[in-house]
Structure 1
Amino acid sequence: MSRASRLLELIQVLRRHRAPITGPALAEELGISIRTLYRDIATLQAQGADIRGEPGVGYVLQPGFTLPPLMFSADELEALVLGSRWVAVRGDARLGAAARNAVAKIRAVLPGDLRESVDAATLTVPMFRGEPVAIDVSVIRAAIRAEHKLVITYRDNDGAGTTRTIWPLLIGFFDKVLVLAAWCELRQDYRAFRVDRIQSVEPRDERYPRRRAVLVGEWRVRQNIPATAGN
């Protein structure tokens, strides 16, 4: 087992144990010497892992530690890079820039062999653009995160325009269009809005009265979407 794999396994073991676990028990589970264990714990602590404890007492990992990208396997990196490149092509300007920045940050901390796998681009995304969007989609994304209402002007399939107050829930990315799922106060029901038909969007500094997670659950039931599907 490589050192990187061993450190990853140590983190996973600590995550499984909410109560402190002794050094000898950790060493036995990992199949390493107690001396190697102490060195590995010191290494992880130096990398920012909040591991509390000491020899003879036991160790526990506090919540919040995320693994550095160098811990990713080649397949995991390909999945992350492919997803980021897809977002860079299909997302709005801010989301696309964030995706490119994420790939650059991952690449910057990788060892040479894994950095080459990122640069090789064995998987790619077609440079395809969908229907043009007139609004800043990041405004919708911010409202979804904050669970705030939006006022939109919307053009339907026949070209007729309406002004609506909605509770934005999810944005679906399809081949040619983005679709916003929301509760519509005008219709008093869940509705799907093609984002390219939204003519204007105005955020309201007002939370909608029910939690987004509950509303999304109801929407999934209406759409016959399993609860385990992507959020």
Structure 2
Amino acid sequence: MRKADRLFQIIQILRRSSRPVTSSELADELEVARRTVYRDIAHLIAQRVPIEGEAGFGYVLDAQYDMPPLTLTPDEIEAVVLGVQMVARLNDAAIRNAASDVMAKITSVMPQDLLPYIAQPAVGIKPDDVGGDVTRDTRPLRSAIREGRKLALDYRAADGAVTSRIVWPVLLGYADTHSLLIAWCQSKHAFRHFRTERLLKVEILDESIGMSRSKLRQQWQQWRDAQMWKSRVVQ
């Protein structure tokens, strides 16, 4: 790894960590000796990168520090390309178009020497047609999730029965052929998964879910973990 790439990666590692990162951890991820890390840290500090800490304790990066936009490494570029390829297989036109727009924006400002990593990436997924049922427009669902607002749904179950529900949306999950609205159902007093292609009507209500989004998601994660534990016990 070139020194310039290594210095950039040190900043990336520190920026994504919520705690001090030791020189040993940096050396392991960068696959270099600890003395190289010490020299690189000293170089960054000399260049006025706001890194604090010391050997034995760990290093932290000032949360206010910001790097020039789109300073991406080849690995990061190929990660984005791979993600766009995966999103392209989802049966959600709005998300697919958004991913294509992101890729176009990145390509338009990418330095010439990095464009080959987009045009001929070293990664890829098996080509496949998008399959499954046609999903509804998921933008209202995602908007309600972001804003923490309740949804009124008319939903058709697998047996054809139609019910009306008020739900607290948590997350929109995706599989290869369909998407699921994960939500707390007021009538069932439980978390439920709703296939988006079976949503007959969606209305965003003015009423909020009555708690923070993070707390609702935490409760869902606890419920999910409990369900997974039960399934392992049954097996």
Structure 2 counterpart of 1:184, which letter? C
Q: Which residue of 1 aligns with 2:128?
A: 126
1:29-83, Cα deviation, whole Å (9 max, x unpaired): 652698x768844xx8xxxxxx69xxxxxxx7452625633332x2322221111
Matching of residue 70 in structure 1 with residue 71 in structure 2: yes
Gaps of 5+ in 2: 21-35, 52-60, 229-235
Q: 1:79 to 1:62 in 2, by over 3 A?
A: closer
> CA-atom RMSD, angstroms?
3.4
State the partner residue of 1:116: 116
Residue equivalent to 1:88? 88
Identity of aligned residues (%): 29
Query: Are the counterparts in 1 of residues 7 and 40 from structure 2 also a CA contact under 8 Å?
Result: no
Scaled by the length of structure 2, the TM-score of the pair is 0.70
Letter in 1 for 2:39: G
2:223 corresponds to 1:222: yes
Deviation at 1:200, TM superposition (A): 1.3
Q: Please report how far the alpha carbon of residue 132 of structure 1 lies from its aligned counterpart in structure 2 after TM superposition.
A: 1.0
Note closer, same or farther for the CA distance 1:32–1:165 as it changes in structure 2 (3 Å cut).
Answer: closer
CA contact (8 A) 2:191 2:220 kept: yes
Separation (CA, whole Å) in 2 of partners of 1:93 and 1:37:
44
Partner Cα separation in structure 2 for residue 214 and residue 111 of structure 1: 42
| Runs of 5+ consecutive residues of structure 1 not aligned to the other structure | 18-27, 45-50, 53-59, 227-231
Amino acid in structure 1 at the alignment position of 2:185: C
Counterpart check, 1:181 vs 2:189: no
1:14-93 residue pairs with structure 2 within 5 A? 31=39, 40-41=47-48, 61-63=62-64, 65=66, 68-72=69-73, 74-90=74-90, 92-93=92-93
Q: Measured at CA, do residues 38 and 180 of structure 1 come closer, stay the same or move farther in structure 2, by a change above 3 Å? A: closer
Deviation at 1:160, TM superposition (A): 1.3
Structure 1 equivalent of residue 146 of structure 2: 145
How many pairs are equivalent? 202
For the residue of structure 1 that corresponds to 2:183, the secondary structure is strand
Q: Is the 8 A contact 2:179 2:195 kept in 1?
A: yes
CA distance in 2 between counterparts of 1:32 and 1:208 reads 48
